[in-house]
Amino acid sequence: MEWTREKRYLPYNQWDAETLLQLQAQANNSKYQVKYHIRPTSGLINDPNGFSYYNGKWHVFYQSYPFGATHGLKSWVHMQSSDLVHWENLGLALGADTKYDSHGAYSGSALVIDEKLFLMYTGNVRDKNWARFSYQNGAILDKDGQVTKLPEPLLTAPNHVTEHFRDPQLIKHRDQYYVFLGAQDKTTLSGQVALFRSSDLHNWDDLGYLDFSDEVMGYMIECPNLVFVDNKPVLIFCPQGLDHEVSAYENIYPNMYIVGEQLKFDAAKMETNQKSPLNLDAGFDVYATQAFNAPDGKTYAISWVGLPDIAYPTDTENWANCFSQVKQLSLAEDGTLIQRPVPEMANLRHNGVNIRTSSAINNVQVVQDTAGQQFELKVTIAANQVGTLHLAANSNLSESLKLVFSTDCDARLTVDRTTAGIQYATEYGTTRAVDLVANESLDLDIFIDGSLFEIFINGGRQVVTGRFFAPTSNTKVAFTSTKALGYSGTYWQIEHI
Ligand code: FRU
């Protein structure tokens, strides 16, 4: 089927129920489907939106196009949870159904205001000539789960930005509201974070662009997200087209962060000692991460595992992408971000099996012959080792997702998906490497969920996230090494939820 513009922007009510049911079944029955992460009921999922805590529950919404694996007419779908791990799908929350969001209810954020959850999002609108207009709209979710859109936009684009002006993040600081928006400057065509202030959510002062770097941040910044981590301001953002000389990255578009020392809201300035942004995730597929400061004093983040403008193998099954698990953020002594699984993730573990160095046969140590499609493997590899951990491997290990490690003087972990099933996005590389501290042991906490892997390295000092599309019969986990190998850990099956 060809995705014409007409088709992609067809109002949802012009699709028939049977097609939707078929698409849902197709997503549900896919052998690549994830079972303990947020995934689309049908079609395509992209950015997390409105990640928040309200009325005794955690909330996150996803950008949804339910009728296929394409970026069509977007809406928000509401997910709710009591523990940040088990999520319940409450269905459509914001559709593209007013003149201020006719071509998509695009990304945004949520903030508890007056006992209601206030949603601020971008209304994407196209005119007859397909010229784009971006409105920053408001909606209110009440305690009964009812969403009411505000009749007029909260904020319209200032004349110093191009049509690329979206993804509002609303926060309250002292007694003022501030909104951070992804923008492209009209004069320089550079990526910017626009900052506005209001006392009533309707009248906004334009504070200009956030000054957080001397470098040019590509041609467009998407999904800016300002959170406090251990009392320091951290800007998480997606600088599209960032010069590789500014910060090295391999994915088509990077999701990066800068840790600040101080945020001067009214001066639109974040003071920082960090010269250039760092990759938030060292893997292949993380984008549009959204984090927020929760009332429990912690900072939580969740990512879209998927990238814009990349074709994924499940496109042919008419669904695409998923979310990461929720990650708890903190700062390491060297000022970089630590991302860890939330403690409740451990409640999904079943049938733990201790694993440790065994005698190698032909340099192979089998950890699990049939690890299944959903599991967690926590393993410590001793210092001064060299080898490969094969995940989702076939019997002779010619196919696997390879974790090639050295914990000697030249310490590195390389995640190689070259032999891990269907190849895609290979022009952006098939390996990702993380430097480690020489001669130290290596802690890995590995989560596999169907076609998703998340590897937390050394307590979350680095995270390597990605998708892989291997035959489901490849369920072996094994170490290979030409030398004696020391490791120990635990393997658990993970509950389907
Ligand atoms: C990022 C993004 C946002 C936009 C949304 C539309 O992936 O392009 O900038 O609001 O997706 O779905």
Tell me the per-residue pLDDT of 108-129, one tens digit each, with 9 for 90 and over: 999 999 999 999 999 999 999 9
Look up the CATH superfamily of 5-341.
Answer: Glycosyl hydrolase domain; family 43 (2.115.10.20)
C-alpha 124 – ligand 1 centre gap (Å)? 10
Provide the residue count of the chain. Answer: 497
Q: Is the pLDDT of residue 483 over 90?
A: no
How far apart are the C-alpha atoms of 80 and 70, rounded to whole Å? 25
Fold match, 5-341 / 347-494: no
**Model confidence band, residue 252 (pLDDT cutoffs 50, 70, 90):** very high
Residue 397 amino acid letter: L
- Residue 59 has a pLDDT of 98
**Model confidence band, residue 50 (pLDDT cutoffs 50, 70, 90):** very high
Q: What is the mean pLDDT of residues 422-431?
A: 98
Tens-place pLDDT, residues 161-184: 999 999 999 999 999 999 999 999
Annotated domain spans of the chain: 5-341, 347-494
Helix %, strand %, coil % of the chain (to 5): 5, 50, 45
C-alpha 493 – ligand 1 centre gap (Å)? 34
Could you tell me which of 290, 251, 256, 249 has the C-alpha nearest to residue 274? 256
Active site residues: 47
**Model confidence band, residue 359 (pLDDT cutoffs 50, 70, 90):** confident
Strands (E) across 174-219 are located at 176-185, 191-198, 205-209
**Model confidence band, residue 358 (pLDDT cutoffs 50, 70, 90):** confident
How far apart are the C-alpha atoms of 267 and 463, rounded to whole Å? 34
Pairing of strands 269-271, 278-279: unpaired
C-alpha 180 – ligand 1 centre gap (Å)? 15
Q: Tell me, what DSSP letter sits at residue 220?
A: E
Q: Let me know if domain 347-494 sits in CATH 2.60.120.560.
A: yes
Residue among 47, 71, 307 to mutate when testing ligand 1 (max atoms within 8 A of CB): 47
Tens-place pLDDT, residues 438-455: 999 999 999 999 999 999
- Residue 79 has a pLDDT of 98
Using DSSP, state whether 341 is helix, strand or coil.
Answer: strand
User: Ligand 1: does its nearest atom lie under 6 Å from the Cβ of 106?
Assistant: yes
Pairing of strands 161-173, 155-156: unpaired
Residue among 8, 62, 63 to mutate when testing ligand 1 (max atoms within 8 A of CB): 63
Pairing of strands 116-126, 132-141: antiparallel
**Residue that has been written with the tokens 């959170």 in this structure:** 227
Atom of ligand 1 nearest to the CA of 106: 10
Give the end-to-end CA distance of the chain in Å, rounded to a whole number. 32
User: Ligand 1: does its nearest atom lie under 6 Å from the Cβ of 445?
Assistant: no
Using DSSP, state whether 394 is helix, strand or coil.
Answer: coil
Cβ-contact 107, 122 below 8 angstroms:
yes
User: Ligand 1: does its nearest atom lie under 6 Å from the Cβ of 164?
Assistant: no
Cβ-contact 254, 238 below 8 angstroms:
yes
Strands (E) across 342-451 are located at 349-356, 364-368, 374-381, 386-393, 401-406, 412-416, 431-435, 442-449
- Give the mean pLDDT of the chain: 97
User: Ligand 1: does its nearest atom lie under 6 Å from the Cβ of 64?
Assistant: no
Using DSSP, state whether 98 is helix, strand or coil.
Answer: coil
**Model confidence band, residue 275 (pLDDT cutoffs 50, 70, 90):** very high
C-alpha 27 – ligand 1 centre gap (Å)? 22
Q: Is the pLDDT of residue 62 over 90?
A: yes
Which residue, by CA, sits nearest to atom 12 of ligand 1? 106
Which residue, by CA, sits nearest to atom 9 of ligand 1? 222
Cβ-contact 36, 497 below 8 angstroms:
yes
Class of residue 178 by CB neighbours under 10 A (exposed 0-12, middle 13-18, buried 19+): buried
- Token pair for residue 419? 């032999």
Residue among 9, 103, 106 to mutate when testing ligand 1 (max atoms within 8 A of CB): 106
- Residue 268 has a pLDDT of 98
Q: Is the pLDDT of residue 1 over 80?
A: no
- Token pair for residue 185? 């400057």
Q: Which residue has the higher pLDDT, 84 or 495?
A: 84
Q: What is the pTM of this model?
A: 0.98
